[in-house]
Structure 1
Amino acid sequence: MSQATPAVIRFDPAPAAAPEIDHPRPERREVGDPERRTWVLYDNAAEGLATGIWECDPGQWKIEFGPREHEYFIVLDGLCRVHDAAGRVESFGPGQAVFLPPNFKGSFEVVERMRKHFVIVER
């Protein structure tokens, strides 16, 4: 969804529009086949910026960021763990913010159904 830049973007708890629904690709799945729901509130490919609300059921899958991809998110509900390629694991719950840098490789694990606000930048 591409749009002109509005003055304000609301991150309402329950967006009126239906979410985009997907699942991790089979080759990336490590535990389960969780449903992921995404409400993209702003997406501008020319700026390399997307933001919105994301929910996910429990499961775990491999993630691999490109050399220009950054993500910042804040957990609203639930619990997740980020596993890096060296085997370190960090847990994040409500109110905690996370930044994943370019070239990050590891796994994303949803322990308890979670919801987050996210900002993805590709520059």
Structure 2
Amino acid sequence: MSQLWLAGQGLTQAEKSIDYPRPDRLVQGNPQRETYSLYEHPNMDCGIWHCEVGCWNIQFADNKQEFFQVIEGVVRIHDQAAGTYIEVSAGNAGIIPPGFAGSFEVVEAVKKYYVIVEA
């Protein structure tokens, strides 16, 4: 697993949590998702996330946004309103803005750093 260093405290540790997309949001497959939440603070959570190939619908609240950087794999984020998508592969980063509605597609098993901010 990749690591996350916290200034003044050293290397962070986290237990793996496993979940699956809600059945009413599934578009393709039923991918297992592994989350390692490595740092939590009011209004912010960050860590490392792994996911198998699959696709599900997402709807971000108006006060929620996510920055992520793909370490391994490929994801597509489909914009419901525009009918387009962005593709983010290893070494690249993306942002899911507040209020975004669409789908999250894992094209190749993915591992990413994530930072979720809720204000």
- Shared fold per TM-score greater than 0.5: yes
Q: In the alignment, what sits opposite 2:35?
A: 38
1:71–1:101 contact (8 Å) kept in structure 2: yes
SS of match in other structure, 2:99: coil
CA distance in 2, matches of 1:49, 1:102: 14
CA distance in 2, matches of 1:74, 1:53: 10
SS of match in other structure, 1:27: helix
- Consecutive unaligned residues of structure 2, counting only runs of 5 or more, are 1-5
TM-score for the superposition, normalised by structure 1: 0.86
Q: In the alignment, what sits opposite 2:87?
A: 91
1:107-118 alignment runs, 5 A limit: 107-118=103-114
- Percent of aligned pairs with the same amino acid: 42
- Pick closer, same or farther for the CA change 1:100–1:9 going to 2, 3 Å: farther
1:36–1:54 contact (8 Å) kept in structure 2: yes
CA RMSD of aligned residues (A): 1.7
1:58 to partner: Cα distance: 0.1
Higher share in strand: 2
- Consecutive unaligned residues of structure 1, counting only runs of 5 or more, are none
- Pick closer, same or farther for the CA change 1:77–1:9 going to 2, 3 Å: farther
1:23 to partner: Cα distance: 0.1
TM-score for the superposition, normalised by structure 2: 0.88
